[in-house]
Amino acid sequence: MDKIKVRNERAHKWISDIANEHWASFYFKGDRYDVLTTNRSECFNAVLKDARRLPIASLVEHSRHQTTDFIQKRQKLVHSWQTKLTHYAEERITLAREESRQYIAYRVRVHEYKVRSLEHTDGVNLELRTCSCRAFQTFGLPCGHAMAAIGITDFDAYDYCEKWFHVERYRDTYAEVLHSTLDRTQWELNLESLMTILPPIAKRPPGRPRTRRTDRELKGGLHYKCTRCRQLGHNR
């Protein structure tokens, strides 16, 4: 925040008016596991990009084929792993272990430790899986301070990693199989429950409909410019 204030006081004031848990992982109240976005609709749109104009039955079958192919690739990938954690988690653990070499840890209580560095001292609680730097509870993996505390004990660092990062849990996630749907000739029809569903009343807008979506995230969003005052961020 101090660096932002030095470079742009206006930006510093704008960020200060926003609650910290809405933009900083350090202050987030839940568990994010280093996931920054939850935009699942964009992922769904990307999968169905080539099948949007298909009939509904063909669209469902296309979605099943895409999902089956996705699951099979993950199943093949996980069988080639020889580690306890996924590659992402193993890399973070390796970096944390290398970082812990510059720290000095000593026990305060049964599960509480103090970890000193040249700049400051952090507190680690292995029972609660917390650290004063909040990286331990934010990412769900031991940080450098926690690795330094584990290093002076007989505990295993893998026991302090969230279960979602273990290869066994990854394998269980993609263990299911999607079976094909029944053919139209095998559908069970109940004529009494059938009802006629009409399309919604809508007026077609003028012009040719767009086929390409605007990627606002890559372009930094839409920038408005006022034609009256010539300032950015709003219109007239």
Flag whether pLDDT at 159 surpasses 80.
yes
Average pLDDT of span 102-127: 92
Mean pLDDT, the chain, integer: 84
- State residue 128 phi and psi, 5-degree precision: -90, -10
Residue 217 has a pLDDT of: 47
Of 23-32, 67-76, 104-113, 152-161, the range with the lowest mean pLDDT is 23-32
What is the rounded distance in angstroms from the CA atom of residue 6 to the CA atom of residue 46? 41
Residue 218 has a pLDDT of: 47
Residue 37 has a pLDDT of: 64
For the residues of 67-109, what is the DSSP string, one character each?
Answer: HHHHHHHHHHHHHT--SSB-HHHHHHHHHHHHHGGG-EEEESS
What is the rounded distance in angstroms from the CA atom of residue 52 to the CA atom of residue 45? 9
Of 48-52, 80-84, 215-219, the range with the lowest mean pLDDT is 215-219
Flag whether pLDDT at 119 surpasses 80.
yes
For the residues of 182-207, what is the DSSP string, one character each?
Answer: PPGGG----GGG----PPP--PPPSS
Confidence of residue 35 (pLDDT cuts 50, 70, 90): low
pLDDT tens for 180-230 read 777 777 777 777 777 777 888 888 888 887 776 665 544 555 667 888 888
Q: Where are the domains of the chain?
A: 1-30, 87-172
Helix (H) or strand (E) holding 51: none
